[in-house]
Amino acid sequence: MFAPRWAAFAHRGGAGHPDLVGKENTVAAFRHAVGMGYRYLEIDVHATIDDQLVVFHDDDLRRVAGGRGAIADRTSAEVATLRVGRSEPIPSLDEVLETFPQTRFNIDLKNTGAVAALVRTIDRHRAHDRVCVASFSIERLREFRRQMGRRVPTSVSPVGVAWNGYVPLLPRLLNSPGTALQVPLTQQVGKRSIPVLTSRLLRHAHLAGKVVHVWTIDDPLEMHRLLDMGVDGIVSDRTDLLKQVFVDRGIWEDR
């Protein structure tokens, strides 16, 4: 999953690319990123009420698809009638895995019902070696690991990362079954913005044999700074800018 020294991730397929406004997490966005040479796509999955996985970020349909309610309260047939940005269908995970058989996916579990469905989907497509599973919920990650075992890499939970950022010995980081730390630059705690990514966190993560990916970075100067720090991957909405930074540094690897 993490063979390249530096990984460039298209966040939701490149949600901030000028040609993709309003088309996040759609086949059109993924095809665009893959056409640019991206090997890694960051996507989100929800389970519908009839236990089918669809690629969608928000709990609520309003912002992206102009609908009402949550994906979890809709059937897959109902979801199939909706459109992202008034033009693009909401894809199923089955469709995405089948359409892009050479692409690798960082999959964010967005609701509890998606856990068992994701295990079945990965098994059905034999996609164990081309996905990494993440979640903001430590309970979802634990349940996914319990059902899937060690056959699929997972991220360290954000709770674990935040805890590890502010204690001396980082024992949870060293012992976590997660392969990757996927972190923001900072975390809002009350009225304070606390740094999450630090040189110390990077050093201990690498000593533990883990990789560090940072999200969501759309500023080229920040991308250069993070690569200079030694991060292993960057997740960006601006796939055009991230690719240019990687090309300029001579680390871009086409598909």
86-114 pLDDT tens trace:
999 999 999 999 999 999 999 999 999 99
Average confidence (pLDDT) over 141-167: 79
Contacts of 100 (CB under 8 A, 6+ apart): 30, 31, 34, 41
Query: What long-range pairs does 237-240 form, CB within 8 A, spacing at least 24?
Result: 237/11, 237/12, 237/14, 237/15, 237/16, 237/17, 238/14, 238/16, 238/17, 239/8, 239/10, 239/13, 239/14, 239/16, 239/17, 239/32, 239/33, 239/36, 239/38, 240/14, 240/17, 240/18, 240/36
Residues taking part in catalysis: 11, 57
The pLDDT of residue 169: 44
Mean pLDDT of 179-187: 89
Amino acid at 252: W
pLDDT higher than threshold 60 for residue 42: yes
Which segments of 68-179 does DSSP mark as H helices, in order?
76-80, 93-99, 114-125, 138-148, 158-164, 171-175
Taking the model in full, what pTM does it have? 0.93
* Residue 160 reports pLDDT greater than 60: no
Q: Provide, rounded to the nearest whole percent, the portion of the chain with pLDDT above 90.
A: 72
Range with the lowest mean pLDDT among 5-14, 65-74, 124-133, 146-155? 65-74
Measure the CA–CA gap between 207 and 225, rounded to whole angstroms: 21
Confidence of residue 214 (pLDDT cuts 50, 70, 90): very high
How much of the chain is in helix, strand and coil states, percent to nearest 5? 40, 20, 40
Domains of the chain, earliest start first: 7-248 (3.20.20.190)
